[in-house]
């Protein structure tokens, strides 16, 4: 089992996700991309598998604080959106849970209790 949960330690959604994984007995490592950043290959993989509209959180304050030009560029070009996600990691929807569990690939985005139960229960 090699599960990594990506997010920001102070986020309440992250705390719920970690608590749920603990309840389900899932061993995981936590990657705080506020402290450690995130590499472009990981964000690209998430966007390729989940789509940009799932990974990019447009409801948060960081997105709202971007200039109209930055928002337009991100909407028009996925590579520019990915670059913005790397620069402003708080715009990545949380949590991202990735790895292998019971020899099956796992990639989940956002807190979804049913998906966690189905994947790890």
Catalytic center residues: 11
Say how many residues make up the chain. Answer: 121
d(CA 2, CA 68): 40
Handedness of CA 42, 86, 52, 6 (dihedral sign): positive
Q: What are 69's two structure tokens? A: 């030009």
Coil, helix or strand for 97? strand
Chain CA centroid to CA 116, Å: 14
d(CA 66, CA 22): 36
Q: What are 41's two structure tokens? A: 């290959």
């Amino acid at each position: 089992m090699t599960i990594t949960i990506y997010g920001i330690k102070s986020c309440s959604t992250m705390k719920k996700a970690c608590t749920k994984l603990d309840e389900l007995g899932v061993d995981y490592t936590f990657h705080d991309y506020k402290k450690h950043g995130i590499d472009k290959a990981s964000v690209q993989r998430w966007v390729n598998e989940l789509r940009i509209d799932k990974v990019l959180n447009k409801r948060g304050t960081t997105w709202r604080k971007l200039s109209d030009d930055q928002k337009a560029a991100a909407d028009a070009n996925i590579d520019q959106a990915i670059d913005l996600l790397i620069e402003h990691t708080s715009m990545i929807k949380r949590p991202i849970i990735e790895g292998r569990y019971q020899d099956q690939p796992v990639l989940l985005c956002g807190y979804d209790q049913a998906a966690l139960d189905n994947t790890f229960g």
